[in-house]
């Protein structure tokens, strides 16, 4: 390192002094780079990501018993599986977009302990990830979702249970189970349009025999179809299924 004398102020009329330069967002020096970034996003430049062809396989059907959907791409199958079979409540067969919402559903709809505790303390958790608020009732929670989180008041994944099944009861778990299948048929289906219920769901509901529910031991209340989040299909882990980005 070469020796450096102490720094002296500039001699007039000269004024240079070394200075680190800071460039905020709008600085002139950053203009050209920003434009380049803009063009990249608008796909006018060549994308730096590789675009992969969607693999086509010969037709195959969904392996879930009773589901007769057929596919010719892994992608299509993956989305079908995730939408309909992945986060499914084993009691009422409703499917949910995430494990989180499924867990809340099972707790609030199918867990008698929850009902008991809810009478004494705030048990209804806010649906928004990262919000720790809890409420005494489903309605209070909905009000919170609407006013604080600006959710729509008809948010599809927050349907309140019908009053019939949530009334207090001192019945034994056995009898409570017995009342379930009847209630399922009268429950408001998650979809608004009745034509959106897949035929599969309807069939399964109708054919659920009463006896099999009664014989369920209490521990199985929390059973549900669950796949660890790390498992995925096809080439997902390595590359993902990319859409072909159309260059304009």
Partner 1 sequence: MVCCLQSVIVLFVALRKARKQQQLISKRLLREDTQNGEGKAGMEIPTDPLSEQEVLQLLRDTQKGTEERKKSLSCLRQALQHKETQQKFVRLEGSMRVLIGLFTSSLADVQMEAAHCLHELSHSSDPAVAEACLPATSYLLTYLSGHSIEFTELCLYTLGNLVVESEAVRKQLLPQGIISALASCIQSPHEAVLEGLGYVLSQLLQAKEASIEIIPLVLDSALPQHMLQLVCSNLELGMGVAVEFAWCLHYVVCSCVNNALLISQGIMSTLVLLLLELASMVSKAVADGLELLICPVLRCLSNLLAEEMEGCNMQVQDERLLVALFTFMQYFLNHHLFIVQECLWLLNNLTADEPFFCSAMLTLDLIPALLQLLPCSRMVALLVLTVLCNIAEKGCAYCQQLHQKAVLSSLISILTLSDAEVAGQCLELLHLLFLHWPEAAADFFTQAGLQALEQHQHHPELQERVRALMNLATQPTAASPCSLVSSAAVPSSLP
Considering only residues 49 through 108, tell me which ones interact with partner 1, judged by CB under 8 A. Answer: 49-50, 53-54, 72-73, 75-76, 78-80, 82-84, 86, 95, 97-101
For 25, what's the count of Cα atoms within 13 Å in the CB-facing half-sphere? 0
Our CB check for partner 1 shows the closer of 45 and 222 to be 45
Q: Which of 58, 120, 121, 130 binds partner 1 (CB under 8 A)?
A: 130
Query: Which residues between 158 and 177 bind partner 1 (CB under 8 A)?
Result: none
Provide the 10 A C-beta neighbour count for residue 224: 18
Our CB check for partner 1 shows the closer of 75 and 181 to be 75
Contact status: 192 vs partner 1 (CB under 8 A): yes
User: Phi and psi dihedrals of 103, rounded to 5?
Assistant: -60, -45
Q: Which of 48, 65, 168, 172 binds partner 1 (CB under 8 A)?
A: 48
248 and 55 Cβ atoms separated by less than 8 Å: no
Determine the Cα–Cα distance for residues 96 and 89; give it in Å rounded to an integer: 8
Our CB check for partner 1 shows the closer of 27 and 164 to be 27
Q: Copy the structure tokens of residue 54.
A: 């969607």
**Binding track over 5-44 against partner 1, x by CB under 8 A:** x-x---x-xxxxxxxxxxxxxx--xxxxxxxxxxxxxxxx
Task: Round to the nearest angstrom and report the end-to-end CA distance of the chain.
Answer: 54
């Amino acid at each position: 390192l070469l020796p450096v004398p102490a720094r002296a102020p500039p001699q007039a009329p000269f004024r240079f002094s070394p200075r680190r330069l800071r460039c905020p967002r709008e600085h002139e020096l950053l203009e050209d780079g920003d434009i380049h970034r803009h063009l990249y996003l608008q796909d006018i430049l060549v994308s730096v990501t590789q675009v992969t062809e969607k693999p086509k396989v010969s037709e195959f059907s969904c392996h879930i018993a009773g589901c007769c959907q057929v596919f010719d791409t892994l992608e299509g199958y993956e989305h079908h599986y995730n939408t309909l079979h992945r986060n499914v409540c084993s009691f009422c067969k409703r499917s949910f977009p995430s494990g989180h919402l499924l867990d809340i559903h099972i707790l609030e709809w199918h867990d008698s302990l929850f009902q008991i505790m809810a009478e004494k303390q705030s048990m209804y958790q806010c649906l928004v990830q990262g919000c720790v608020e809890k409420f005494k009732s489903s309605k209070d929670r909905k009000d919170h979702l609407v006013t604080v989180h600006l959710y729509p008041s008809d948010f599809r994944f927050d349907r309140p249970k019908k009053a019939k099944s949530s009334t207090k009861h001192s019945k034994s778990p056995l009898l409570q189970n017995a009342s379930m299948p009847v209630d399922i048929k009268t429950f408001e289906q998650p979809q608004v349009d009745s034509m959106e219920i897949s035929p599969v769901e309807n069939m399964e509901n109708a054919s659920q025999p009463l006896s099999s529910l009664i014989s369920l031991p209490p521990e199985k209340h929390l059973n549900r179809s669950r796949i660890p989040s790390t498992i995925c299909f096809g080439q997902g882990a390595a590359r993902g299924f990319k859409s072909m980005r159309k260059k304009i």
